[in-house]
Amino acid sequence: MRAEHLSVELRARSPWEAVELGTALVRRHARAVWLPWLWLALPMFAVVNAAAWALSMPLLSCLVLWWIKPLFDRIPLFVISRGVFGAEPTVRQTLAAQLRWDWRPMLAYLTWRRFSAARSLFLPIELLEGETGTRLRTRRRVLGATVYGNAVVLSVVCLGFQLALTLACVALVFMFVPIDYLPEAARAGLALVAAPPLWAQLGFNAFFWIGIGAIEPLFVGAGFGLYLNRRTQIEAWDVEIAFRRMRQRLLDAAAPLLLFCVLLAGAGTTPAHAQDVDPPDQDMPKTPGVEQVFGDQRVNDARFRKVVDQAYRDPLIDRHRIDRHWQRKPQDTPEQAERKAPDLSWLRGLQGVLAFIGEWGLWLLLALVVIFVVASARHWWPWMRGVRAPRPVLAEATASALVLPETLPDDIAGSARRLWRDGRPRSALALLYRASVDAMAQRAGVVLPPGATEAQCLRASRRQPEEADRGLFARMVRTWQYAAYAQRLPAEAEFDALLGELQQRYRWGA
């Protein structure tokens, strides 16, 4: 695969977005997918049904057609694997490719891998990459590491869609039956189920094959979308494509700039004219040449240059020399070191402060805390005295643990009033809450589990038929929660009003 030729926008998608991408590819190339599918599916349907009819088992063809589905999965996979690179194959090319493609993976997908729930995800590995053996097992493990569950769910959903479409085709037949004849048609249809004639069996086989033909290409495309997304995540195709596009943009932008620089350089260079060159100064002496030095004596120029080169190679005459040696770095005198050293005398004061904080810091912090506590005593001391004082509402709780009554007395209202007057308000509210729960359960027709919480009781109370009962029970639960958990008891008048409403509503005897 060459990622730069992809016609889709590659990015790291979620598995279900990748499934949608695969189905969108199938819809885009629908004609190139379903035309070759029909070219192969219709003859196969006729051959399988003819063989089943010869064996007097027409319904057996449904099982055979379902079993050989992987053979037809090659068609949509071939089309969308080429179409995703912008090269949609023709019908002739697709049919011809089925003969050239490797058929060895089909043996596995028609035998021990037929029930593989991730067939749509793993099929491109063998057909498009051509992997076998250990490398195939490694590729299957790597690509299916995080999306195997999604591939399984995809297989189950597509199987459900195939069955639903088959039953929808059967139900479509009854839509053409007049309403007056619909009961008789329904009875006739049920009779056909018990002993279907040949035409009914062939019709059901056709509906079943229509369901497979409509859903199976989408199933293969969705698996290809998962496969493409996993390769994008693992091999970073989206990053590679972004870099390629960035390089192309830079090249496109650099070409005009380079041309502009060349033109600018050409325009800035002006031709030199003979009159613009300054004439040589006549007064300057000419440099003497070999002829002027040696007179008329002829000199062998090649020999002379050889002698000069040999002289320059002499280490005593050569002007270039590299000399490496170690030399002790001169030490500064005390006066120079003192002048160069920065003045750090101010650090001595900081050192003393830090030493003092490190030695006495905790004691200073403790002193500050004590000063703050003493200064704010007028704010928190009254509250502390109130905490130490015994609260009347907690006297009952400290004396004994509150236990909800298991059995209710005959006179619930009277018992609750006596508990309230005896200084046991929480026990009185516990009795009312327990009795209200029993009354609510009877009116709602529910059975509460042992140890049901207030939230469970409130949810169960919504089944009471009357709104007044639901509101009164919610009020009772809220009053009990305030008393049990927040230590907030109702006033005596409020308690009497609540007790009166409960007694009247739930008909507790006086």
Note whether residue 340 is domain-resident: no
Q: What is the pLDDT of residues 374-401, one digit of tens each?
A: 888 877 777 665 555 455 444 444 334 4
Distances (CA, A) of 477 to 432, 435, 438: 10, 11, 13
Note whether residue 382 is domain-resident: no
Domain final position from 228, 244, 260: 244
pLDDT at 310: 74
Note whether residue 217 is domain-resident: yes
Note whether residue 77 is domain-resident: yes
Domain final position from 244, 279, 307: 244
pLDDT at 255: 64
pLDDT at 218: 92
Note whether residue 286 is domain-resident: no
Note whether residue 274 is domain-resident: no
Domain final position from 219, 244, 269: 244
Domains: count for the chain: 2
User: Which residues in the chain come in under a pLDDT of 70?
Assistant: 1-6, 189, 191-195, 236-238, 240-242, 245, 247-248, 252-260, 262, 264-301, 312, 314-321, 332, 335-344, 383-406, 509-510
Note whether residue 284 is domain-resident: no
pLDDT at 284: 47
Q: How far, in Å, CA of 161 to CA of 155, rounded?
A: 10
pLDDT at 278: 47
pLDDT at 237: 65
Note whether residue 501 is domain-resident: yes
Range of 208's domain?
3-244
Q: How far, in Å, CA of 330 to CA of 241, rounded?
A: 61
Which of 214-217's residues contact partners 24+ apart within 8 Å by CB, and which partners?
214/162, 214/165, 215/158, 215/161, 215/162, 215/165, 216/69, 216/72, 216/73, 216/76, 216/158, 216/162, 217/26, 217/33, 217/34, 217/37, 217/75, 217/76
